[in-house]
Amino acid sequence: MPERVLDKDFAWGFATASYQIEGAPTADGRGPSIWDTFCKIPGKIADGSSGDVACDSYNRTAEDITLLKLTGAKAYRFSVSWTRIIPLGGREDPVNQTGIDYYKKLVDDLLAEEIIPFVTLFHWDFPDALDKRYGGLLNKTEFVADYAHYARTLFSAMPKVKNWITFNEPWCSSILGYNTGLFAPGHTSDRSKSAVGDSSRECWIVGHNCLIAHGAAVKIYREEFKATDGGQIGITLNGDSTYPWDTEDPLDVEAAERKLEFSISWFADPIYLGKYPDSMAKQLGDRLPTFTPEDLALVKGSNDFYGMNTYTANYIKHKTTEPEADDFLGNLETLFTNSKGDCIGPETQSFWLRPNAQGFKNLLNWISKRYNYPTIYVTENGTSIKGENDMAKEEILDDEFRAEYFRTHIAALAGAVSDGCKIKGYLAWSLMDNFEWAEGYETRFGVTYVDYEGGQVRYPKKSAKTVGPQFEAFMKTE
Ligand code: GBH
């Protein structure tokens, strides 16, 4: 019998994101986002697809809630499509009441089933009109003001929401959007991929601007809504656990720490400690923006909770050469095998993902120690399965590999709670198979199989019924 270390009200459930599930890109006045535009560029999405239909969740919201009920979920994390709320995106642009009503009803319907909504304001689908109008996330003044206005519009429309997430993984918006160019809007220095971009500078500016926009939204929530609505607000950061490639080599030990700083502390240090990590300042010099006193006042202390997304772990080997201008890892290599030849975990469909539950537990402890034991919600965690898309339906539904991932990771989470980490929730990625960004529909992350050819019909997999019982086993009974 596992130790019952999780509180009775532990918020476990599932997560999704607007562009990955909704479809209906022009319904009821929605405006285009940078992902609608990006998907139209040949070669950007592996299977040439887009989120045009996806899981058709905009028209099947009731089916999604039925799925949640079937799993017994206590919480659901979804994101709002900015351009359903404000089709052109800006603070002087018209607000679309039909878009607001869609999400209000979703919140009401969830609450009617006693499922707690966790609402992400921004999961990468930035308004295309603003990207074209003023350079989008690169333009601090305009972007921060427009994001703040969008945030205020949502806070005021949905007082029943008590859990707000400002940004999902600003690392991805910055690095994948403005350094490697793999994600919208696709900026990169590589001129074979994009006519615009400076990988050595733009990503650091975008990350900086996201932090300030986050801080601006939190200030608005705290000053204008928190007292009456009583909710909490935080940012979700991605980052995966690290081990030194050679534990005997101090330079690998240092690099393993530096990798965490370049992914997690880039955002979490300014929020919790009021400055960028020294390792980043040292490597990036004047390419790392500096905070004005006003901006720092917005950012420092701006998390009510830490939203944690994590999937895998890496062995880290330091590099002996000078960092490249476009390096964003911290001058190191990420590997799945260490100096002794140990492998970190089994292959999945995602080249970057190999399950390692011990790493999950280690990372929960690392974040807790560095930031003085903040309240943590794990806002994403999950896995794809090698070859899943090519399997027969019966085989897909019997996803033991994913079920085992959740069993081991939930046990690891309980272990971290025993260690002293303050973890209050866990949202598995994902409620259903969906549009996996640049990988299209070939990679599936759902606990529900979505039959894309057969009219978006949903079939729960084995893992859909694994998460709940595993949490129940670790939860206090009173
Ligand atoms: C999450 O990001 C996203 O929030 C979610 O929307 C997505 O569906 C889910 O993961 C599964 O992928 O630069 O090409 O080598 C997870 C964090 C960070 C994972 C970047 C992939 C390397 C991709 N991601 N990482 S690449």
Would you state the pLDDT for residue 446? 99
Would you state the pLDDT for residue 305? 99
105 pLDDT above the threshold of 70: yes
CB of 175 sitting under 6 A from ligand 1 = no
Q: Evaluate whether 316 touches 260 at the Cβ level (below 8 Å).
A: no
Mutate to test the pocket of ligand 1, among 199, 311, 363 (most ligand atoms within 8 A of CB): 311
Measured in Å, residue 352 CA sits from the centre of ligand 1 at: 8
CB of 46 sitting under 6 A from ligand 1 = no
Q: For the chain, percent helix, then strand, then coil, each to nearest 5? A: 45, 15, 40
314 pLDDT above the threshold of 70: yes
Query: Average pLDDT for residues 8-17, to the nearest whole number?
Result: 98
CA 446 to centroid of chain Cα atoms: 15
Q: Which of 335, 336, 334, 362 is nearest to 347 (CA)?
A: 336
* 129 within domain boundaries: yes
Would you state the pLDDT for residue 256? 99
Q: Average model confidence (pLDDT) for the chain?
A: 98
* 32 within domain boundaries: yes
CB of 352 sitting under 6 A from ligand 1 = yes
CB of 172 sitting under 6 A from ligand 1 = yes
Measured in Å, residue 8 CA sits from the centre of ligand 1 at: 31
Would you state the pLDDT for residue 353? 98
The span from the CA of 330 to the CA of 448, in Å, is 37
15 pLDDT above the threshold of 70: yes
Give first-to-last CA distance, the chain, whole Å: 17
Q: Evaluate whether 277 touches 269 at the Cβ level (below 8 Å).
A: yes
The span from the CA of 474 to the CA of 472, in Å, is 5
The span from the CA of 192 to the CA of 69, in Å, is 47
Query: Average pLDDT for residues 283-308, to the nearest whole number?
Result: 98
Mutate to test the pocket of ligand 1, among 429, 431, 436, 447 (most ligand atoms within 8 A of CB): 429
| Token reading at 334 | 């990420």
Q: Is the dihedral of CA 363, 369, 370, 375 positive or negative?
A: positive
- The helix or strand, by DSSP H or E, that contains position 309, with its residue range, turns out to be strand 305-309
The span from the CA of 233 to the CA of 162, in Å, is 8
* Strand pairing class (232-238; 116-122): unpaired
Query: Average pLDDT for residues 92-100, to the nearest whole number?
Result: 98
Note down the domain range covering 431.
11-250+263-312+346-473
* 96 within domain boundaries: yes
38 pLDDT above the threshold of 80: yes
Query: Average pLDDT for residues 153-163, to the nearest whole number?
Result: 99
How buried is 397 (Cβ within 10 angstroms: 0-12 exposed, 13-18 middle, 19+ buried)? middle
Residue 2's pLDDT band, with cuts at 50, 70 and 90, is confident
Cβ neighbours, 10 Å, residue 257: 18
43 pLDDT above the threshold of 70: yes
CB of 79 sitting under 6 A from ligand 1 = no
* 400 within domain boundaries: yes
Contact residues for 147 (Cβ-Cβ < 8 A; gap 6+): 121, 122, 213, 216, 217
Q: Is the dihedral of CA 170, 199, 352, 186 positive or negative?
A: positive
Mutate to test the pocket of ligand 1, among 14, 35, 238 (most ligand atoms within 8 A of CB): 238
pTM value surpassing 0.85: yes
Measured in Å, residue 258 CA sits from the centre of ligand 1 at: 20
What is the domain-level CATH number for residue 239?
3.20.20.80
Q: Which of 22, 142, 169, 439 is catalytic?
A: 169
The span from the CA of 150 to the CA of 146, in Å, is 6
What one-character-per-residue DSSP string does 54-115 give? Answer: TT-TTT-HHHHHHHHHHHT-SEEEEE--HHHHSTT-STTSPP-HHHHHHHHHHHHHHHHTT-
Q: In this structure, which residue's CA is closest to atom 25 in ligand 1?
A: 352
CB of 269 sitting under 6 A from ligand 1 = no
**Identity of residue 54:** A
Measured in Å, residue 45 CA sits from the centre of ligand 1 at: 14
* Strand pairing class (375-380; 305-309): parallel
Measured in Å, residue 174 CA sits from the centre of ligand 1 at: 13
CB of 176 sitting under 6 A from ligand 1 = yes
CB of 429 sitting under 6 A from ligand 1 = yes
**Identity of residue 48:** G
| Token reading at 319 | 């590099």
Q: Which tens digit of pLDDT belongs to each residue from 71-88?
A: 999 999 999 999 999 999
How buried is 126 (Cβ within 10 angstroms: 0-12 exposed, 13-18 middle, 19+ buried)? buried
Q: In this structure, which residue's CA is closest to atom 22 in ligand 1?
A: 352
Measured in Å, residue 329 CA sits from the centre of ligand 1 at: 15
Q: Which tens digit of pLDDT belongs to each residue from 358-412?
A: 999 999 999 999 999 999 999 999 999 999 999 999 999 999 999 999 999 999 9
Task: Give the gyration radius of the chain's Cα atoms.
Answer: 21
Residue 169 annotated as catalytic: yes
* 54 within domain boundaries: yes
* 256 within domain boundaries: no
Map residue 24 onto helix, strand or coil: coil
Query: Average pLDDT for residues 154-164, to the nearest whole number?
Result: 99
Query: Average pLDDT for residues 39-53, to the nearest whole number?
Result: 98
Task: Specify the length of the chain in residues.
Answer: 478
Atom of ligand 1 nearest to the CA of 434: 8
The span from the CA of 467 to the CA of 116, in Å, is 17
Percent of the chain whose pLDDT exceeds 70:
100
Residue 380 annotated as catalytic: yes
Q: For the chain, how many structural domains are there in total?
A: 1
CB of 169 sitting under 6 A from ligand 1 = yes
Query: Average pLDDT for residues 27-48, to the nearest whole number?
Result: 98
351 pLDDT above the threshold of 90: yes
Measured in Å, residue 40 CA sits from the centre of ligand 1 at: 20
Cβ neighbours, 10 Å, residue 438: 16
- Between the alpha carbon of residue 230 and those of residues 160, 233, 266, 370, the distances in Å are 9, 10, 29, 27
Cβ neighbours, 10 Å, residue 186: 22
With both helix axes pointing from N to C terminus, report the angle between 357-370 and 266-273 in degrees, rounded to the nearest 10. 30
Mutate to test the pocket of ligand 1, among 121, 312, 380 (most ligand atoms within 8 A of CB): 380
* 144 within domain boundaries: yes
Q: In this structure, which residue's CA is closest to atom 23 in ligand 1?
A: 352
Q: Which tens digit of pLDDT belongs to each residue from 248-266?
A: 999 999 999 999 999 999 9
Q: What is the largest CA-CA distance in the chain?
A: 60
Query: Average pLDDT for residues 152-170, to the nearest whole number?
Result: 99
* 4 within domain boundaries: no
Q: Which of 142, 202, 261, 380 is catalytic?
A: 380
Query: Average pLDDT for residues 213-229, to the nearest whole number?
Result: 99
Measured in Å, residue 169 CA sits from the centre of ligand 1 at: 9
**Identity of residue 323:** P
| Token reading at 289 | 């923006």
Would you state the pLDDT for residue 1? 63
Would you state the pLDDT for residue 478? 85
CB of 445 sitting under 6 A from ligand 1 = yes
Q: Which tens digit of pLDDT belongs to each residue from 443-454?
A: 999 999 999 999
Q: Which of 428, 434, 431, 429 is nearest to 456 (CA)?
A: 434
CB of 103 sitting under 6 A from ligand 1 = no
